[in-house]
Amino acid sequence: GQQLNQSPQSMFIQEGEDVSMNCTSSSIFNTWLWYKQEPGEGPVLLIALYKAGELTSNGRLTAQFGITRKDSFLNISASIPSDVGIYFCAGFLSGNTPLVFGKGTRLSVIA
Amino acid sequence: GAGVSQSPSNKVTEKGKDVELRCDPISGHTALYWYRQSLGQGLEFLIYFQGNSAPDKSGLPSDRFSAERTGGSVSTLTIQRTQQEDSAVYLCASSQGTYNEQFFGPGTRLTVL
- Interval A10-51: pLDDT, tens: 999 999 999 999 999 999 998 999 999 998 899 999 999 999
- The DSSP bridge pattern shows strands A71-76 and B5-7 to be unpaired
DSSP-derived letter for residue B56 is: B
- The reported pLDDT for the residue numbered B76 is 97
Long-range contact pairs involving B43-51 (C-beta distance under 8 Å, separation at least 24): B43/A43, B43/A88, B43/A101, B43/B91, B45/A98, B45/A101, B46/B77, B46/B90, B47/B77, B48/A98, B48/B98, B49/B75, B50/B97, B50/B98
Residue B84 has pLDDT above 80, yes or no: yes
3-state DSSP assignment of residue B17? coil
Nearest-Cα distance to chain B for A104, in Å, is 6
pLDDT-derived band at A1 (thresholds 50, 70, 90) equals very low
Contacts of B102 in chain A (CB under 8 A): 33, 45, 90, 99
Tell me if chain B has a CB within 8 Å of the CB of A45.
yes
Tell me if chain B has a CB within 8 Å of the CB of A84.
no
- The reported pLDDT for the residue numbered B99 is 74
- The DSSP bridge pattern shows strands A10-14 and A105-110 to be parallel
The minimal CB distance from A41 to the residues B93, B101, B106 is found for B106
The set of residues, in sequence order, having a beta carbon less than 8 Å from that of A66 and lying 6+ positions away, is A52, A53, A72, A73
pLDDT-derived band at B97 (thresholds 50, 70, 90) equals confident
- Chain centre distance of CA A77: 14
Contacts of B101 in chain A (CB under 8 A): 33, 45, 48
Residue B19 has pLDDT above 90, yes or no: yes
Question: Quick check: A103 and B99 CB within 8 A?
Answer: no
| pLDDT top residue among A31 and B18 | B18
Ramachandran category for residue B68: left, alpha or beta (phi over 0 → left; psi -120 to 50 → alpha): beta
